[in-house]
Chain A
Amino acid sequence: MRIERIIPSMYQRRLLLLVGAMVLAMLAPAAWMMRLTIARADEFRAEAEKRLITQEWLPTVRGQVLDRKGRVVAIDRPTFDVAVDYRVITGEWADEMAAKAARGRSPAEWKTMSPEQRDAAIARERTVYDEHLERMWSDLARVAGITRAELDERRALVRGQVQLLATTVTERQRRERERALTRGEEGPDDDWESERVRTTDVRRPIREESEAHVLVRDASDAVGFELSRAQRQSVQDPGRPTRSMPVMPGLKVIDSRRREYPFDSMDVPLDVGLLPGTLRREEPGTLRSFRVEGVATHVLGWMRERLFKEDIERRPMRRSDGAIDLGHYRPGDSVGQGGIEQCAEDTLRGLRGVRTTHLDSGKVETTDPVRGSDVRLTIDVALQARIQALFSPQLGLTVVQPWHIPAVRPEEAPGRARAKDLPVGTALNGAVVVLDIHTGDILSLVSVPSFSHDIVMGRGKDQESRRSAIFKDAYEQAYINRPIAKPYPPGSIVKPVVLASAMAAGKYSGSERLACTGHFYSDRPLLYRCWIYKQNHTTHTDQLGHDLDGSDAVKVSCNIFFFELGRRLGPEGIHDLFERFGVGAGAERWNIFGANRSASPTPLAEEYPGSIPAPDKASSSEAVLMGIGQGPILWTPLHAADAYATLARAGVRLTPRLRADGPQHRTDLHLPERAVSQALDGLHRCANEDLGTTHTLSIELADGSKIREPLFTAPGVDVWAKSGTADAPPFIADLDFRGEHDSFDGDHAWCVLLAGHSGVPTLAIAVVIDHGGSGGKVAGPVANQVLHALLAEGYLGETHSGAAHRTAPSERPVAASNPADTRNNTNAIAGAGVAP
């Protein structure tokens, strides 16, 4: 053998074989070492260097919300937050301390212990630390002024949120890992994938598990200072007597900010001498102050402390391109909920700052927080408060009065049972919209009942039950933003709109006169009746002495006339008319809180688009019914105000807006001038001529006598108005809280008007009173008081022109009920207000 000739010694050959094997064996780790240090060096360096960086988030300040006059209606104010380390919240701290104590008792013995023995030793030591934490939680609750149960609930909430976040992060990492592993492989199978990478393979502790979390927000200065002292105090460690431990371990008192709504509660002076009929007990000029809680809560929204999974997913820390989004959500963040706080969340939120410390070099890099941008609203908060005050039960305007209930009931259609009338004294809810015709600005958007921010953002036990009442009371439905979210049948207020649209469609000439026959179908006297026939067994033709043209029909609100227009328009024409006025899912829609739905991060799901059946889904008899605003059609008060404003603009629709910087969309409906003028003429005559349904308020007294007085009394104000009594199905409620539910009758009372001066309408106003009954008797007086409120706030006078955006100083300004709230608003609320 050749090798034996070269190396004759077996020993030498074997030795060489051994060394050769060693060299060959060593090639594998050497090659692997090269792979790690060359091919994967950058990846590993980056991963290793991640641990050399610590990041501390710096809080930002949420932008302010201002009303149209620059009053600050939502603001962040400095306060204290009390946070506790997550390990203390979970009790891990007690475990760690107990382990240290157990080890410290006998280090030598500790080394020899089995894991079970160690666990037992730790458990023995743990009791004192658990007791220490118990004392801490009780003390913290006492100092912070909350109950222990409440504090425990918050601890549980933090644990839940952190666990949720950890799950989300881990799942994302697991999916990324799976994608990395399956890249290039065919047909990824979900089941197979889920087995490929287990959650436990990628689970790493997240930063939040080693951070402090806020348990007490908005602590007062006294609480903040006391806890700051406690933060520095220590006691002897019972497990390690030579050492000390904090009295309140893991406690951090943090300078923070609180969202405040300075105009949330206001005292409004109202002239009770301007009230109608029996409600007027004082001379005109007599001011009474009314407290209003929750001014514009629906418009402003509030801050929600509970973070949802959707929030984290919508704005995660890392964007899809891998960059960090400084506006991302973290446990403890507040999120805008409802109203502008929700819709302008991304604008208001701002960007947190970040302080990055490089542990190897000590270098500190700071990205300053970016304050959230301010948002200016079109509403006038003082006007909003005034109008909201009109719903005060003490005023009586929106309380069921004896004269609201008709003395004689018309004969009902066969098969229809009559429900109970609402009892006298029942407080009524409703909505008001005031729209600037020239700009589309919403000056006021009132929803009653409202609720205070203290209730939705407060933390007391009582607040919790009140909060739950808001969201659970089926009758009050306080959570619904009625002007934009509650569907109402329109009733007679659609008549001028139907008139103009029928003329535009060539279905009515404008000069044609139609007879009011009392009931539409000659052979069915109990169906499709005119209201005058139903109540008085007469007809408008008889009343006026002639057949009616469009203007007459609007003035007297003749049902027969508009049944006929509905018939002529048919299902298609009716559908087309309402869709052109923005009603229905297919109509051109707006998001009054933002530019459009897609631009708003979280469009309010509550905005109701209105409902109109598709032409092939509606019968011709339904089209007849929809001619008077009944049948399968629903809209909101904002639709009503917008439709009237469109008539006032001669058929030009202008997007209503609640944000001053909201874009304007103009759409010309191409209504003939004659159609518009006849509709407006009818509206003007309705409010200003005898027999007009919104001209006179007739109050029947108990003795049978009547008080008759003009419905609209605002001096110098021109009014174009239409009332409506929209048939609504009976509703079931337990109004007297006796645990018994009754069925109540109650049509929705509407009054929609255009108001201006010198013959030019400048504002469109829609008033609806839920289940109020007669539009003229119930909604009309409220609408009249809205006109007075507008005058009081400087609108509708000679100085106000919607087109010019000018705002005159209030004649009798309203005041925030909390003097402290006026700190930032002294300019906005100049002059004397009524004392809180």
Chain B
Amino acid sequence: MKAPLWERLTGGDTTTRHAAWLCLLGAVGLSMLGIYAIDIGSGEPPLHGPVTFTGQALRQSVYVLVGIIAAVIVALPHYRWVRWVAWPAMWGVLALLVLLLLPFVPSTLVTPRNGARAWIDLGPIEFQPSEVAKIAFVLVLADYLRYRQNHRTLTGLLPPAIIAFVPAALITLQPDLGMAILFVPAIFAMLLCAGARLKHLSVVVIVAALAAPAAYPLLKPHQRARIDGLIGMIKDSRHGADSINYQALTAQMLSGAGGLAGVSDAKARALVKFNRLPERHNDMVLAVILTRFGLIGGLGVLALYGLWFFGAYVTAALCKDAFGRLVVVGFMAIVFAQTFINIGMVLGLLPIIGLTLPFVSYGGSSMVTMWAMTGLIFSIAMRRPTRLARPTFEFDE
């Protein structure tokens, strides 16, 4: 007897006992915290305006809702369907990335924001193709690597590098260096778990590290200024306090001002507003959380990410399907890199490169992308095969 259509469409291995619930829990916690932090960052202190849910917090709530819906949508079909659409999706995304760079595209469609051509204006909503590119890239690379062995050779690393390079290069040209950087940890993590030789990866890392200073002159002036600013800040904690490091130093100050347990809601709103922290609802939202909830809040954020990563890790570990494994690993690497860089930026450890804090920062495209990743991890966890279809990623060291 044939299985019911529903089971045939969704895979039939559906189970409610899997670790992706932890991802869901972490994502929901982070999203809720994000909405509250955005409300603090974009609102008025109680004395200076009515205490209402701000427009940005309200919009972020909608984005979270849309994100959850997107997660459900991608989680419903079996993830093998997703693999089939990976390459077409990649080509589509590349086309959009090229479209963004075409000079004759009307500004009503592609509106530069902060100097970057990263957004497509679709009237009521704006859409950032590079966010989708992250997912498409992970899917395509997972599909490419799943039953291969040639990535165990040095030349075999070239095709995966090209797969990463094309979208990353297009994104760099927007320019959105922060987003492009995320492709690097993703490809490394996926190659690592796919069994690439450690010595090859080490060589690449060493060569890249040695070549990095040579890339400095190629950077745009504002990018160089940020790196210089960070170096100056390491030498002197007040370096560029009113210029290049204003944002970083203000974020650090507010983060520290929260102390161990943070300050009251009203005080946090006042501190954030009157200290004029730039991008306080967006890239710098962690500083708002630290102001409000202090170190406890900061560790809470890390704990929620810990939940998400633990859920993803268990899902990847238990998954017997090569494609599923690499997809989860790729998503983990992207979310981790983005989180790590953002926290480093806010705390003054890394230069500011305009990366949002996953699930927390304001923004529809980012939110929907993160939730879509969570949905896919959920889908993989729900439908993990109980045994390997064929041996994969098992080589001699």
Residues of chain A having any CB pair with chain B under 8 Å: 1, 4, 9-12, 14-15, 17-19, 22, 25-26, 28-30, 32-34, 36-38, 40-45, 47-49, 51-52, 108-109, 111-112, 177, 181, 196-197, 200-205, 359-362
Q: How would you classify the secondary structure of chain B's contact residues: helix, strand, loop or mixed? A: helix
Closest partner residue, chain A, to B297 (CB atom): A37
| A196→B238 CA distance, assembly (Å) | 12
5 sample A-B contacts, Cβ–Cβ < 8 Å, listed by A number: A10-B393, A12-B317, A26-B302, A201-B241, A362-B47
Q: Can you add 13 more A-B contacts, CB < 8 Å, to A14-B195, A43-B256, A204-B241?
A: A11-B193, A11-B393, A14-B193, A15-B313, A33-B295, A37-B256, A37-B294, A45-B259, A48-B257, A108-B107, A112-B112, A201-B232, A360-B47
Contact between B242 and A359, CB atoms less than 8 A apart: no
The smallest beta-carbon distance between B310 and chain A, in angstroms, is 9
In the A-B complex, the 8 residue pairs with the smallest Cβ-Cβ separation, listed nearest first, are A44-B256, A360-B270, A36-B256, A41-B259, A37-B295, A48-B257, A11-B393, A51-B274
Q: Mark B293-335, 1 if CB is under 8 A from A, else 0.
A: 0110011001000000100010011000000010001001100
The smallest beta-carbon distance between A342 and chain B, in angstroms, is 38
Q: Which of B243, B276, B348, B394 has a CB less than 8 Å from the CB of A10?
A: B394
- Cβ contacts under 8 Å, A37 to chain B: 255-256, 258-260, 290, 294-295, 298
Residues of chain B having any CB pair with chain A under 8 Å: 45, 47-48, 107-108, 111-113, 189, 192-193, 195, 232, 236, 238-243, 252-260, 266-267, 270-271, 274-276, 290-291, 294-295, 298-299, 302, 309, 313, 316-317, 325, 329, 332-333, 336, 340, 343-344, 347-349, 392-395, 397
Q: Which of B112, B274, B347, B395 has a CB less than 8 Å from the CB of A52?
A: B274
The smallest beta-carbon distance between B24 and chain A, in angstroms, is 19
The smallest beta-carbon distance between B61 and chain A, in angstroms, is 26
The smallest beta-carbon distance between A73 and chain B, in angstroms, is 48
Contact between A41 and B397, CB atoms less than 8 A apart: no
| A202→B47 CA distance, assembly (Å) | 32
Contact between B192 and A201, CB atoms less than 8 A apart: no
Contact between A18 and B260, CB atoms less than 8 A apart: no
- Cβ contacts under 8 Å, A49 to chain B: 257, 271
The smallest beta-carbon distance between B365 and chain A, in angstroms, is 17
- Cβ contacts under 8 Å, B336 to chain A: 22, 25
Contact between A360 and B340, CB atoms less than 8 A apart: no
Contact between B349 and A202, CB atoms less than 8 A apart: no
The smallest beta-carbon distance between A196 and chain B, in angstroms, is 7
| A18→B309 CA distance, assembly (Å) | 11
- Cβ contacts under 8 Å, B394 to chain A: 9-11
The smallest beta-carbon distance between A290 and chain B, in angstroms, is 62
The smallest beta-carbon distance between A185 and chain B, in angstroms, is 13
| A412→B130 CA distance, assembly (Å) | 107
Q: Which of B111, B192, B252 has a CB less than 8 Å from the CB of A36?
A: B252
Contact between B349 and A28, CB atoms less than 8 A apart: yes
| A78→B260 CA distance, assembly (Å) | 53
Contact between A204 and B317, CB atoms less than 8 A apart: no
| A407→B370 CA distance, assembly (Å) | 114
- Cβ contacts under 8 Å, A111 to chain B: 107, 111-113
With A9-B394, A10-B195, A37-B294: A22-B309 Cβ-Cβ less than 8 Å: yes
Closest partner residue, chain A, to B262 (CB atom): A37
Closest partner residue, chain A, to B242 (CB atom): A204
Q: How would you classify the secondary structure of chain A's contact residues: helix, strand, loop or mixed? A: helix
Contact between B274 and A359, CB atoms less than 8 A apart: yes
Contact between A25 and B340, CB atoms less than 8 A apart: yes
Contact between A200 and B243, CB atoms less than 8 A apart: yes
- Cβ contacts under 8 Å, A28 to chain B: 349
The smallest beta-carbon distance between A157 and chain B, in angstroms, is 26
Q: Which of A25, A45, A202, A362 has a CB less than 8 Å from the CB of B241?
A: A202
| A11→B270 CA distance, assembly (Å) | 50
With A11-B393, A37-B256: A360-B349 Cβ-Cβ less than 8 Å: no
Contact between B254 and A48, CB atoms less than 8 A apart: yes
| A181→B233 CA distance, assembly (Å) | 12
- Cβ contacts under 8 Å, B290 to chain A: 33, 36-37
The smallest beta-carbon distance between A592 and chain B, in angstroms, is 49
- Cβ contacts under 8 Å, B316 to chain A: 15
Q: Which of B108, B254, B313, B344 has a CB less than 8 Å from the CB of A19?
A: B313
Q: Which of A38, A112, A201, A360 has a CB less than 8 Å from the CB of B266?
A: A360
Contact between A30 and B274, CB atoms less than 8 A apart: no
Q: Which of A14, A108, A196 has a CB less than 8 Å from the CB of B108?
A: A108
Contact between B397 and A10, CB atoms less than 8 A apart: yes
Contact between A11 and B240, CB atoms less than 8 A apart: no
The smallest beta-carbon distance between B161 and chain A, in angstroms, is 19
- Cβ contacts under 8 Å, B232 to chain A: 201
| A362→B270 CA distance, assembly (Å) | 11
Contact between A33 and B255, CB atoms less than 8 A apart: yes
- Cβ contacts under 8 Å, A9 to chain B: 394
With A49-B271, A361-B47, A362-B47: A11-B195 Cβ-Cβ less than 8 Å: yes
The smallest beta-carbon distance between A234 and chain B, in angstroms, is 24
- Cβ contacts under 8 Å, A40 to chain B: 256
Contact between A112 and B241, CB atoms less than 8 A apart: no
| A200→B236 CA distance, assembly (Å) | 13
Contact between B256 and A29, CB atoms less than 8 A apart: no
Contact between B45 and A41, CB atoms less than 8 A apart: no
Contact between B271 and A360, CB atoms less than 8 A apart: yes
| A177→B302 CA distance, assembly (Å) | 34
| A508→B194 CA distance, assembly (Å) | 121
Contact between A30 and B344, CB atoms less than 8 A apart: no
- Cβ contacts under 8 Å, B395 to chain A: 10
Contact between A38 and B347, CB atoms less than 8 A apart: no
The smallest beta-carbon distance between B385 and chain A, in angstroms, is 14
Q: Which of B189, B242, B295 has a CB less than 8 Å from the CB of A38?
A: B295
Contact between B349 and A17, CB atoms less than 8 A apart: no
With A29-B340, A177-B238: A44-B193 Cβ-Cβ less than 8 Å: no
Contact between A18 and B108, CB atoms less than 8 A apart: no
The smallest beta-carbon distance between A119 and chain B, in angstroms, is 15
- Cβ contacts under 8 Å, A204 to chain B: 241-242
- Cβ contacts under 8 Å, B253 to chain A: 44, 47-48
- Cβ contacts under 8 Å, A44 to chain B: 252-257
